[in-house]
Amino acid sequence: MADTASQGGETLLFLTDEQLRKGIEAMFFAYRGFTADPDRILEHHGYGRAHHRAIHFINREPGLTVTTLLSVLGVTKQSLNRVLRTLIEDGLVESRVGKRDKRERHLYLTDAGGVLERELSGAQRERMRLAYRTAGPQAVAGFRQVLEAMMDPEMRRQYQMLKDTA
């Protein structure tokens, strides 16, 4: 069995530009596959990926504030307000005034929002589950390490905070 430092004859310490290009292209194609099923579902509802990301994180942490969601998504307030306004008007997200700070708005998925979130994430979970089973546990751990290493430091901190709340 090949050692983990040289899978398929490729040394991981001295990657060539060609090996890196192959990895970049694999990421592009994997991302297309990962987003394809949710994109079809979102298109049916007239939504885009920004709506999906908002729904995902609101589901992940019910009651999170608009300010926290802005930080996690890394978008402008104007952009997020457009997305939230649509989701609220369509009955998928509920915005509640904070109990301690009346200036805060806390976000929750409605029952309809939960149904859509499960449909969107279910498609992605199935794709991830199959890929993880195919690759095996060592590859899964390595894949996560690679993704975390690619994150900018601030994103990695946010990601770590989310991991810690799981």
Domain containing residue 115: CATH number: 1.10.10.10
The answer to whether residue 114 sits within a structural domain is: yes
How many folded domains does the chain comprise?
Answer: 1
The answer to whether residue 8 sits within a structural domain is: no
Cβ atoms 35, 48 nearer than 8 A: no
pLDDT of residue 12: 62
pLDDT of residue 5: 46
Q: Tell me how far apart the alpha carbons of residues 41 and 46 are, in angstroms, rounded to a whole number.
A: 9
Q: Tell me how far apart the alpha carbons of residues 12 and 6 are, in angstroms, rounded to a whole number.
A: 6
The answer to whether residue 61 sits within a structural domain is: yes
Residue-by-residue pLDDT tens, the chain, 166 positions: 444 444 555 556 678 899 889 999 999 999 999 999 999 999 999 999 999 999 999 999 999 999 999 999 989 999 999 999 999 999 999 999 878 888 889 999 999 999 999 999 999 999 999 999 999 999 999 999 999 999 998 888 888 887 777 6
pLDDT of residue 8: 53
pLDDT of residue 103: 85
Full-model pTM: 0.82
The answer to whether residue 81 sits within a structural domain is: yes
Give the Cβ contact number of residue 104 at 10 Å. Answer: 15
The answer to whether residue 89 sits within a structural domain is: yes
Q: Tell me how far apart the alpha carbons of residues 85 and 73 are, in angstroms, rounded to a whole number.
A: 16
The answer to whether residue 153 sits within a structural domain is: no
pLDDT of residue 98: 79
pLDDT of residue 165: 72
The answer to whether residue 70 sits within a structural domain is: yes
Query: Residue 83 is encoded by which pair of tokens?
Result: 């997305």
**In this structure, what DSSP letter does residue 5 have?**
T
Q: Tell me how far apart the alpha carbons of residues 102 and 115 are, in angstroms, rounded to a whole number.
A: 29
Give Cα 105 distance to the centre of its chain.
22
Task: Give CA separation, 19 vs 2, 6, 22, 78, 144, in Å.
Answer: 18, 13, 5, 40, 19
Q: Measuring CA to CA, which residue among 149, 103, 29 is closest to residue 160?
A: 149
Residue with tokens 């509920």: 94
Structural domain range at position 63: 37-122
The answer to whether residue 104 sits within a structural domain is: yes
